[in-house]
Chain A
Amino acid sequence: MISHPYRLRRRSLLAGATGAAALAAAAACGDDGPAGTADDPIEISFEWWGDEARAEVTQQAVDLFQEKNEGIKVRTNFADFPTYWDSMTTRMAAKDLPDVLNMDYSRLLQFGSNGLLMPLEGLVDTSDFLDGFLDTGHVNGELVAVPIAGNTLGLIYRSDWYEAAGVTLQPGYTWADYQNAIRTVTGTLPEGKWGGGDFAGQYHFMELWLRQQGGSFYTEDGKALNFDKAKLVEWWTLNADLQAEGAVPPIDVSSQWAPENGFVLDTIGADPGWDNFLAWYAPTVAENGGTLALAAPPSLDPANLGLYLKPSMQLCISATTEYPEESGKLIDFLLTDPEAIAILGTSRGIPATNVGRENVEIDEVSQAVLDYEASVEQYLTAPPPPPPAATGSIEVKFGEIYQQVQYGELTAAEAVDTFFTEAETLLAAEQ
């Protein structure tokens, strides 16, 4: 039996080739496509970013969808955030996007303005969304994305460290108050732990700071930066004293934390951030014996916190899909079916629909986020227009160039010149 290994292999190869040819022929014959019935199902694809836990609940919800909708099969796939976008940007060039895909607000215009997303009006039920949530899904006046959940910025901090240091963040506290709080808390902590991080490298906090002064990051048409160099110099020198005193972690230390985070590593006491990140940090902080809390961000003007409700994740349909209706059905199901909502839980944030809020089970951390959002609701203002297509790259450059300031490679003024050159080139390249 072992005397003809090659013949065996050749035969199986031939068989495989014949099979493939037969399949191709069969595929070529079916010119009217699948009928979308239980016997002859159609297939749509659905992809998202996230971890294993999210994938598990999503798959359960998708299975339920397939049970309830015989004739529609859903092929699922997921990856972590950077990998997901690497894949999507490559496939966007090939016009090979999944039928239903997860969208991020910073990428919406990049995809939407290039005609890669299908208008959702009439395909997706938009009647049940909470006020203000749909505002951020429009590109050129057409709704192309619906939010799964919403979030807003806040200050996440270690309430156990802050209480032990006797520091309270009184509502209406300023950026200078926050810096003093960091100083005090760092002073009470052992070496290798800090009361807060250097926040000036984060594009979103600069945007927040600008909004608190009535400004914005980009001009209304998204073609230019809406602040001058002096403004950015001011922002990038804000933490110079804290750095010099050692009140915030030095850059050669904090740059090595990625892809982990100061909260998870038990090294940092506060940082501004998206409120739904609380759910990500809280379990590990609790394991380390700490507690996390959310406060409104510092502001120059207690009446204007600069906050707006941002979709934390959106769902879109590819413009090239063969099955727009079925894709819309899947989106409706994920956002408004009570059973699906119960399964999905708060893995993607607190749902953006009324029926979602009624049917989701709220745990302690989610409750803290909800309480926080209720407390700042009166301060929420109209969101800025979808950021320009170059935003993803500009955000990266912002952090990268500020790092040169932290390392002392560039002065703040030199770094600002560099950033303006880079940002202007990127904005021009995406026009």
Chain B
Amino acid sequence: MSASPSTAAEPKSGPVGDAGAPPVRGTRGAAKRRSSAVRGGERLAGYTFMTPWLIGTAVLTIGPMAWSLYLSFTDYHLIRGGDWVGMANYTAIFEDPMFFRAVRVTLLYVVIAVPIKLVASLLVAMLLSQQRRGMGFYRAAFYMPSLIAMSVGVALIWKALFSNDGTQDRFMSAFGWDGGGFLGNPEVSILMLVLLAVWSFGAPMVIFLAGLMQVPQELYEAADVDGASKWRKFVHITLPMLSPVIFFNVLMETVGAFQLFGPAYIIGGDAGAPAWSTLFYTVRIYSLAFTDFRMGYASAYAWLLVLAVGIVTIVMFRAAGRLVFYAGEDGR
């Protein structure tokens, strides 16, 4: 840390050396000292202004995280406390059938929900990127659901929509469906949460929209001159130019999907009803911690999630190196 400000100060001492005379050691050193003193003061002021945030992060994020990492090596119980058990929690997890259920449900959700949500948001973003009258209204209207989608109220409405004799059941029954409401049917119950995710595509849509606006029009004009079809333009211009934005959205949505909790908990409860079919990984963590009071074991669960999401992120960044095209980078 202390090295970088003095290195940064180097160019400032440049004019002294350029004055014609050979650089005098003392002057140069003094300038460097003064400059780093000023920098030091600024830095202190900077950190002072940041204290509320720093305290918040230390007390509310880093502290509890470190504590939970410690807990994951104990058999901590809410009242009784706990003892160090080493890796026992971690080895127990891999013999826990509920762990594999929770992983399966979560992966299934990530694999279904993320692509559908991203494709839907890209399609809508392409519609909304056109210059038409009243476009501002439509953009706001399509963005709106994402503001409320994670709320308790919407989850309760969702539950009602997908119950027996609810909207979905009646609508689908008209086409010969006899599976009842999704709410009570473990085969399809996860679709409720997928649809909730797709319905709330506002955030990636806005980012796609911004990305689409950035694609230079002359590329399309050139393609038009060459007689390219709409599909070719999409595949060879839009997608490559959009790839950094696509990468960002895929990453954010995947990481977010792994952590889905609120709606799943409200719709399926802490048992992941019906029949464990909505037992998301985070729901399992919650019920271990707050129904069973096995805080140590739940912490170990939580850290495995951190690890898994970390690995997924790294893999994505690796893949991005080959798949993502950044405009302006030559030779790529």
CB-CB under 8 A for A403 and B275, given A253-B164, A409-B186:
yes
Contact residues of B with A, CB < 8 Å? 75, 77-80, 97-98, 163-164, 180-181, 183-186, 271, 273-276, 290-294, 297
Q: Please report the C-alpha to C-alpha distance between residue A256 and residue B169 in the assembled complex, in whole angstroms.
A: 13
B294 near A429: Cβ-Cβ < 8 Å:
yes
Least Cβ–Cβ distance between B79 and chain A, in angstroms: 5
A184 CA / B109 CA spacing, docked (Å): 44
A429 to B82, CA, bound (A): 10
Residue in chain A with minimal CB distance to B77? A429
Is the pair A393, B79 in contact by a Cβ cutoff of 8 Å?
no
Report Cα–Cα, A430/B184, bound state, in Å.
33
Cα-based distance from A404 to B275 in the complex (angstroms): 5
Chain B binding surface, main DSSP class? loop
Contact B275 A407 (CB under 8 A): yes
Which of A86-94, A117-125, A140-148, A314-322 is the interface stretch? A86-94
Task: Tell which of A255, A429, A430 touches B273, judged by Cβ atoms closer than 8 Å.
Answer: A255
Q: A407 touching B274 by the CB < 8 A rule? A: yes
Q: Give Cα distance in the complex from A409 to B294, angstroms.
A: 26
Extra contacts, 18 of them, besides A93-B79, A256-B184, A403-B274 (Cβ < 8 A), are A89-B78, A92-B79, A116-B79, A251-B184, A252-B180, A253-B164, A255-B273, A256-B163, A256-B181, A256-B183, A400-B271, A400-B273, A403-B275, A407-B274, A407-B275, A409-B186, A421-B97, A429-B294
Give the residues in chain A near B80, CB-CB below 8 Å. 114
**Chain B min CB distance to A214 (Å):** 31
Q: Which partner residue on chain B sits nearest A400 by CB separation?
A: B271
Q: In whole angstroms, what is the CA distance A400 to B287 when docked?
A: 12
Q: Given the complex, which residues of B lie within 8 Å of A407, measured CB to CB?
A: 186, 274-275
- Interface contacts (Cβ under 8 Å), in number, total 63
What are the 3 closest A-B residue pairs judged by CB atoms, nearest first? A252-B184, A407-B275, A400-B271
Task: Give the nearest-CB partner of A429 in chain B.
Answer: B294
Residues of B within 8 A of A403 (CB): 271, 273-275
Assess the B164–A256 pair: CB atoms within 8 A: yes
What is the interface size of chain A, counting residues whose CB is below 8 A from a CB of the partner?
A: 26
Kindly report which residue of chain B lies nearest to residue A393, judged by CB atoms.
B292
Q: Is A426 located at the chain interface by the 8 A CB criterion? A: yes
Given A89-B78, A404-B276, A253 and B293 contact (CB-CB distance below 8 Å): no
Is the Cβ of B79 less than 8 Å from the Cβ of A252? no
Which residues in A have their C-beta under 8 angstroms from that of B75? 429
* Residues on the B chain within 8 Å of A390, using CB: 292
Chain B residues within 8 Å of A422, by CB: 98
Interface string of A380-394 (1 = CB under 8 A from B): 000000000010110
Minimum CB–CB distance for A35 against chain B, Å: 34
6 A-B pairs (CB sep. < 8 Å) = A256-B181, A390-B292, A400-B273, A404-B276, A409-B275, A429-B294
In the assembled complex, A38 has its CB within 8 A of some CB on chain B: no
Complex-state Cα separation, A284 to B185, whole angstroms: 29
- Our pick among A114, A251, A253, A396 for the contact of B79 (Cβ within 8 Å) is A114
A417 closest partner in B (C-beta) = B97
Q: Is B97 a contact partner of A252 (Cβ separation < 8 A)?
A: no
